[in-house]
Amino acid sequence: MKKEEIPNRIQELKKEKNVVILAHNYQTGEVQDVADYIGDSLGLSQKAAQVEEKIIVFCGVHFMAETAAILAPEKTILMPDINAGCPMAAMITASELRAWKRNYPNRQVVCYVNTTAEVKAESDICCTSSNAVRVVNSLDGEKILFVPDKNLASYVARHTRKKIIPWDGYCYIHNNILAKDIKEKRDLHPQAEVWVHPECRPEVIDLADKVLSTGRMIKEANLTEKKEIIIGTESGIIYRLKKENPSKNFYPALDLAYCYNMKKINLLKVLKSLENMTFQVNVPLEISQGARGAIEKMVKL
């Protein structure tokens, strides 16, 4: 099959098998174009629970598909590439978290949604980058354990009176964006606003005009009157930003802000996933129950 024929074949199989395709904002443009819904990790997982279709092809990394499987246990969750993982999620295991908690008895654990199901099951409550401050402030106690992202923990610490004790993890994409990168792009585009993700380093946060999750970047781009924006997150989001806002210019803060795991998924793998019903993501019941509790506590806020 010629590459240009693949999108049409994907659409045919979606209708034939009653499948919905979800794609993260960081996916390539060609994958976003065949998706039914595009969004951030939690938003897509919630969409998985809401849609009528019983089969979902999740174009993202593994923890996202796990979260969808937790929130929609009655549905079949497929990943086009089962090896598309998240290096930050891999920076803490459930056993490491259990050992760490023993050093801080009676401390509540907030886990970023960018974690494995096993880590979520060991946590008290989940959070996203957009609601992390609200989640932390909702908890009793003055000291909070935060996993796994130390940069997001640092951002939260700026906006709460609670003491945040962070795990030493990070997203390598956001951690690689340096203050000098922001300054260089500002010199090239002096009229541009700078928007960065809360996973960025503190010194990058200091230089930003706005600190926004990917979901909020999408919304803000539709509202802002600014015509030039420097984007401090994974560069895949720029495809959607430009597509939805053709009169505005978006520049990556770092030209090589590229998640190789997210980009493991391509059109051919999406097609093969639909043809062969691969690869299915399952979460054992004893893990999914605990993880679902942490996610639902967050959603209730």
Across 162-178, average pLDDT: 98
Closest to 217 (Cα-Cα) out of 5, 43, 97, 19: 43
Classify residue 25: in a domain, yes or no: yes
pLDDT at 175 over 90: yes
pLDDT reported for residue 42: 87
pLDDT reported for residue 1: 85
The number of distinct structural domains making up the chain is: 3
pLDDT in tens, 23-64: 999 999 999 999 999 999 889 999 999 999 999 999 999 999
Distances (CA, A) of 191 to 187, 197, 229, 249, 257: 9, 20, 8, 11, 22
Mean pLDDT for the chain?
97
Question: Could you give the residue ranges of the DSSP H alpha helices within 138-258?
Answer: 150-157, 172-175, 179-188, 202-205, 214-223, 237-244
Query: Which residue matches tokens 């549905």?
Result: 75
CA torsion, points 162, 168, 169, 173, in degrees to nearest 10?
A: 100
Across 273-278, average pLDDT: 98
pLDDT at 124 over 90: yes
Across 226-247, average pLDDT: 98
CATH of the domain at 72: 3.40.50.10800
**Where is the domain boundary, 145, 170, 195?**
170
pLDDT at 138 over 90: yes
pLDDT at 206 over 90: yes
Classify residue 230: in a domain, yes or no: yes
pLDDT reported for residue 39: 96
pLDDT reported for residue 180: 98
Do 7 and 65 have their domain in common?
A: yes
State the Cα–Cα distance between residues 27 and 30, nearest whole angstrom.
Answer: 8
Domain that holds residue 268: 3-85+262-282
Per-residue pLDDT band at 184 (split at 50, 70, 90): very high
pLDDT reported for residue 301: 86
Classify residue 79: in a domain, yes or no: yes
